[in-house]
Amino acid sequence: MAIAKESEDSIIIAGDLVDALDKKILEKPKNKKEAFQMLKCLSGKNFRMIAGLAVYNTKTKKMLSTAKECKVKFRDLLDKEIKHYVESCDVTKHAGGFDVNGAIRFAENISGEFCLYGLPMNELVHFLREQGVDV
């Protein structure tokens, strides 16, 4: 809403993603060591990726929002592959210590609406159309 106050006749898109293992939320790791521990914890486990999306029209003051869930199972990961991934990627920028490429690389199974770069893309298209954007 702070951005909306400075923007006239605009569509504001906001989104974020967290990972949840059991009842624990995995946000962005503070450093590579924490990212390694998160990925080790996710190894061989089922977890959820939850993405929030909001689309706001500053002209009409109409807000559309949702949260979408994707269920993921990582295969059993070797310490050396986790270490290589953590060293070669900017893991502190991503919930759970992995980006979309990491999810695809490590996943044994993905079900539900996969969120590309933290955004539920199908819902984003619907919301933009509902806000009058030709997508």
Pick from 69, 71, 68: nearest CA to 109? 71
Model pLDDT, residue 64: 98
pLDDT digits (tens, 9 = 90+) for 78-125: 999 999 999 999 999 999 999 988 989 999 999 988 777 778 889 999
- For residues 20, 37, 73 and 112, what is the CA-based torsion angle, rounded to 10 degrees? 40
Examine the pLDDT at 65 and tell me if it is beyond 80.
yes
Examine the pLDDT at 73 and tell me if it is beyond 90.
yes
How big is the chain, counted in residues? 135
Among residues 16, 22, 99, 134, the one annotated as catalytic is: 16
Say what the pTM is. 0.82
Examine the pLDDT at 5 and tell me if it is beyond 90.
no
Model pLDDT, residue 101: 87
Question: What domains lie within the chain, and their CATH numbers?
Answer: 2-130 (3.90.950.10)
User: Which runs of consecutive H residues, i.e. helices, occur in 7-133?
Assistant: 32-42, 79-88, 100-106, 121-130
Structure-token pair, residue 32: 């590579």
pLDDT digits (tens, 9 = 90+) for 36-57: 999 999 999 999 999 999 999 9
Q: Which residue has the higher pLDDT, 60 or 112?
A: 60
Active site residue 16: yes
Bin 118: left if φ > 0, else alpha if -120 < ψ < 50, else beta: left
Model pLDDT, residue 107: 96
